[in-house]
Every structure is written in C-alpha cells, then in structure tokens.
Amino acid sequence: MLLADTLLSARILIVDDQDVNIRLLELVLRREGFTNIRSVTDSYEVIPTFASYHPDIILLDLLMPGIDGFAIMELLRRRISEGEYLPILVLTADSTAETRRRALALGAKDFLTKPFDQIEIMLRIWNLLETRFLYRQIQRQNQQLGVQVKKGLRDLDEAQMEVISRLAQAVEYRDENTGQHTLRVGRISAMMARVLGLDDEQVELIRLAAPLHDVGKIAIPDQILLKPGKLTHEEMEQMKAHTSIGARLLAGSRLALLQVAHEIALYHHERWDGAGYPHGIKGTAIPMSARIVAVADAFDALTHERPYKNAWSISRAVEELRSHQGTRYDPQVLDALVQVLEQDGLLSRAYAVSQ
C-alpha cells in the first residue's frame, strides 16, 4: 500500500461555481488531513489552473455557467497524455443515466450525486488517489526497464520481478481474498502453452505475463468491481474498459515480457467468434497468449469459490467451457487444457502456488 503521507500531499483541484460547495469540500478534505487543495469557481479558469497546478485529482461539478463540466472534460482530454491516469470525480445533482453515461465517456473515473455522503466521498477520493500513484509508480518502473534494455540487459532482475508480481497480486486482492488467482492462471497458462508447442522462451513469458491480465482493474471503482449483483449497462461498459486501461499501462516497453503482458491485457476478453471486446477481433487474429489466458482465467474462476458462487468440480467446469468451444474459446486451446488436466501431477503442480 502507498504511504498515507504521500496521498495526503496530493494536489486536489475542486471545480464548482457554488462557494458553499467549495467550502464544504475543503472542510471535509482538510479535516481528513489533505493540505494541498486549490478551488476554482470560474469555469474559465479551470484550464489555466490545471496547466500551472498539475492536480492529482479533480473534483468536478457538471452544471456551471459559462463552460460546463462536460466541456471542461473535453478540453482536459486534449491536455492529458494517453499514458497518464488523472482521476476525475464528478459531483452533480443530475443523476440521470444519460448524464452518467456521458460523463464516463468523456473520461470521468467515478460519479457521485449531490448531496454526497462525506464518508463515501472520502473513500472514493482515497481510492482514486491510490490508483493514480500506483499507476505512476508502474510507469516509472517501465521507464527504468526501458533504460536497462538500452544498456543491453536481457533479463529482469529479482527486484523488478517482485514489483511485477506484487502489482498482479495488488490488483487481485481488490476482489479476491487470497490473491492466488493470478499465480494459478500464470501456471496453468504456461502448461497449456507447452502442450500447444510453444518454445521454452514463450512458455516462460506467458507464465510471467499472464498474472497481469487484469491489471487494468486497478482503475475500476470499487462499487463496480465489488458489486455483488448484476452490473448495469453503464457499469459493464466501465468494467470492460479494464482491458484498454491495462494495455495502456503496459504499453511502450521494449521488454518481451511486458509486450506479451500488453497483448494479454488488451485481448483476453476477445472471443473466437468475434463477439468479444474491446475490438471485436476473432479467430487467429487474437494473439495466442490471450487465447490461452482467456481459457485459463475462466477455468480457474469456475473451479474456485467466489462471493457469488461455490467452486465447481473440474469436470463441470470443463463441460461448461466445452459448451462455448468455437464461439467464446479457441477449440485448440480448450483441447490443450483437457490434455493438461489428463496428465498426472500437472494440475496439482499448477495449484501448488507458494504462500
């Protein structure tokens, strides 16, 4: 976890045309211990303030005279680099589905209606800030890895591997108690890759990269990620964004490991029949690594307990996956899973993850 002192020093920009709302938010934030707060009531001052202040989070009202919150997000989107995660928390009295959908489409990371609960808004702010600082930490790590490649280093050292491993587990801990799902997916993906005839280097890359398949979930709000019931259409669309977010987070590296992790993060929810996301590609256009992880991820989810279901038997899980053979999943990859399961000792080794 990040140090509380680091988060409390974060730069917070409040944008609201009502002084009373500004004063309330400032009071709540200062009482929580935040010290670096700047407020803007004139919407025309938002962009100049953004350029000079470089906020870590923006608390944005939507309904304002002059330039409204939607227009501000349009302007901000042109000024935020593609690889940057800048959380915008929308605060508005308009709770209609269309307003929420439009705000999320323009880049809002979370959404609260007024009047807001003070405890809830602080939880959202803490979560969004922690995500931003983790995101920046990962970017710095990627830059350091790129420098090492330029110096001719071929392999990640032990410290770098630990950062990647801990990142995968940090994402997993948000919606799974043990954090072991990612490690199991990596192991069984590697065994399937070997059965499919991939060379030793590719097998090892998939083993190490597969645990990062859901790294984009680090930017998904808890109320969506941890929701026990069915997601709404808008919530599902935001959940689907974890593939693109994860890909952006891992993009741009010259390291083979992060290149494989990038393609897995982006494509592991594509379907063999083309009905998946985010790009709707199909068949062999989907990278083999992503096709393998899609099956391994689904198999592990089915055979382990989740808040909404009990663990299934291996035979029932295989039967369920087979029912989607040739539609959701690559038939060849499903055959590889069955072959792995039939080989004595391999399955037990796949789940013998160290504590």
Backbone angles phi, psi at 7, to 5 degrees: -70, -40
* Among 118, 61, 49, CA closest to 88: 61
Q: Is the pLDDT of residue 248 over 80?
A: yes
**Single-letter amino acid code for the residue at 353:** V
pLDDT band at residue 182 using 50, 70 and 90 as cut-offs = confident
Beta-carbon count within 10 A of 345 CB: 7
Looking at per-residue confidence, does 60 or 180 come out higher?
60
Strand stretches in the chain, DSSP E: 12-15, 37-40, 57-61, 88-92, 110-113
Tokens of 152: 């001719």
Q: Is the pLDDT of residue 42 over 50?
A: yes
Q: What is the pLDDT of residue 11?
A: 94
Residue-level length of the chain: 355
Q: What is the pLDDT of residue 179?
A: 54
Q: What is the pLDDT of residue 334?
A: 96
Are 230 and 199 spatial neighbours (Cβ–Cβ below 8 Å)?
A: no
Which fold, 155-350? Hypothetical protein af1432 (1.10.3210)
Tokens of 184: 């199991």
CA–CA distance, 193 with 226 (Å, rounded to integer): 31
Q: What is the pLDDT of residue 352?
A: 47
Q: pLDDT tens digits for 152-177? A: 444 545 556 666 766 776 666 665 54
Q: pLDDT tens digits for 253-300? A: 877 888 999 999 999 999 999 999 999 999 999 999 999 999 999 999
Distant-in-sequence contacts of 32-38, Cβ < 8 A, 24+ apart? 32/8, 32/122, 33/4, 33/8, 34/8, 34/10, 35/8, 35/9, 36/9, 36/10, 36/11, 36/12, 37/12, 38/11, 38/12, 38/13, 38/14
Centroid of chain to Cα 187: 21
CA–CA distance, 192 with 199 (Å, rounded to integer): 12
Q: What residue ranges do the domains of the chain occupy?
A: 4-131, 155-350
Q: pLDDT tens digits for 201-235? A: 999 999 989 989 988 888 888 788 777 778 889 88
pLDDT band at residue 178 using 50, 70 and 90 as cut-offs = very low
22-31, 40-49, 321-330, 336-345: range with lowest mean pLDDT: 336-345
Q: What is the pLDDT of residue 161?
A: 65
**Single-letter amino acid code for the residue at 11:** R
Q: Is the pLDDT of residue 109 over 70?
A: yes
Q: What is the pLDDT of residue 3?
A: 56
CA–CA distance, 218 with 119 (Å, rounded to integer): 21
CATH 3.40.50.2300 describes domain 4-131: yes
Q: What is the pLDDT of residue 254?
A: 79
As a whole number, the mean pLDDT across the chain is 85
Tokens of 207: 């083993």
Q: pLDDT tens digits for 136-151? A: 877 777 776 666 555 5
